[in-house]
Amino acid sequence: MATTEWVHTTVMLKEAVEALDVQAEATYVDTTFGRGGHAKRILAQLSAQGQLIAFDKDPQAVASAQALNDPRLQIRHQGFAALSQLPPASVRGVLMDLGVSSPQIDNPERGFSFRNDGPLDMRMDSSRGQSVHEWLAEAKTEQIAQVIRELGEERFANGIAKAITAKRDAGQLPDTTLGMASLVAEVVKTREPGQNPATRTFQAFRIFINGELDELQQALDASLQVLEPGGRLVVISFHSLEDRMVKQFIAKHSREVYDRRTPFAVAPDLPLRALGRQRPTDEEIKANPRSRSAIMRVAERLPLAQEGA
C-alpha cells in the first residue's frame, strides 16, 4: 500500500531566517520543526560548531527531523513551552512558526480539516491527551460556547454549542470532521465570502485541545531567559489571538511604561527592542494562499544594565 506524501510549503522562509541574523557558530531554536523548512535553511548557514535545537509535539515531525541525521540538530518531542528548560542566555535566536503544517491539515486522519472527512481529533500529538470528540462527549454547553466564542471569535458560539450538545444528548454527536462541519453550517448562516462556516469553530477546537495560547505565553516568557544579549526573537502567527499576544508581549518588554509625571521616576530596565513586523509578499500569497494571514514580528534581546555592569 502506497504512502501519501503530504507536501508543506514553509511560510516566509527567507524572511524569517534573515530576521534571525544567523551566526555560523551559534545555537538557535526552532520551536515548531514541522517538516523542517526553516530548520534546513538555518542549518545551511551553521558551521560544524553551530547547533539547532528543535521542538515538536507531532511524532511525524520528530521522525522527519531524525531522518535528516544531522549531528548539529537536536530534536525534542515536546511542545515549545519546554523552551524554559534550556539554560539562561544559551541561544542566539528563537524562531516560532505558529502555523499548523500542511501535512497535518491535509491528512484526513489527523482530523484538522473540514475539507476531507476524518476522525474529529485535532491533537498535535496524537499519542497523548483527549481528542476533540472525546472532549465534546463530556463538556458542558457553557464551556463549549466559551471556547468557540473566545478562541474562535465566533458570534454564533451559543447556537453552535447548543446544537452540539443537543446532538450528543440524542446519541448523535458527530465523530468525523465533515459531520461536525455540517452541524456547524446548520447554525452559521452567514460567513465571509470564501470562508467555510466551520472555520472559526474548528480553529477554536484546535487551539483549546492543544492548549496553544497557554503554551505560546509560556514560550514567549521563556524566550527572555534563554536568549543571549543581541539574540533575536522571530514569531510568525496566523490569527488575531496569537498575533495580539505576540504584539503585546513585545510591546510590554520594549516600551517605557513608567509614569514620567512621578518625581524621580526611573526608566525600567527593558529586555527587548522591537524590530518591526512583516507580512508575506504578494508573490508568496499567490503561490501559497495559506500564507495570506501570516504576520511576522521580530525583537532583539538587550543586555540589562546589571548584566553589562
Residue ranges of domains in the chain: 13-102+212-308, 125-209
**Domain 125-209, what fold?**
DNA polymerase; domain 1 (1.10.150)
> Is the pLDDT confidence value at 232 over 80?
yes
Q: What is the sign of the dihedral through the CA atoms of 198, 201, 203 and 206?
A: negative
Q: What span, in angstroms and rounded, lies between the C-alpha atoms of 291 and 13?
A: 11
| pLDDT class of 261 with cuts at 50, 70, 90 | low
Cell 500564507 belongs to 291
Residue 25 pLDDT greater than 70, yes or no: yes
Q: Model confidence over 130-172: pLDDT tens digits?
A: 999 999 999 999 999 999 999 999 999 999 999 999 999 999 9
What is the percent of the chain with per-residue pLDDT over 70, rounded to a whole number? Answer: 87
Residue 24, pLDDT > 50, answer: yes
What pLDDT is stored for residue 34 in this prediction?
Answer: 85
Band (pLDDT 50/70/90 cuts) for residue 244 is very high
- DSSP character at residue 289: G
Q: What is the pLDDT of residue 309?
A: 38
- Provide the pLDDT for residue 52: 97
Averaged pLDDT for residues 29-44: 92
Q: What is the mean pLDDT of residues 269-290?
A: 91
Top pLDDT among 118 and 300 is at 300
Helix (H, G, I), strand (E, B) or coil at 305: helix
Q: Give which of 95, 101, 99 is closest to 235, Cα–Cα.
A: 95
CATH topology of domain 13-102+212-308: Rossmann fold (3.40.50)
pLDDT, residue 6, reads 46
Q: What's the pTM?
A: 0.85
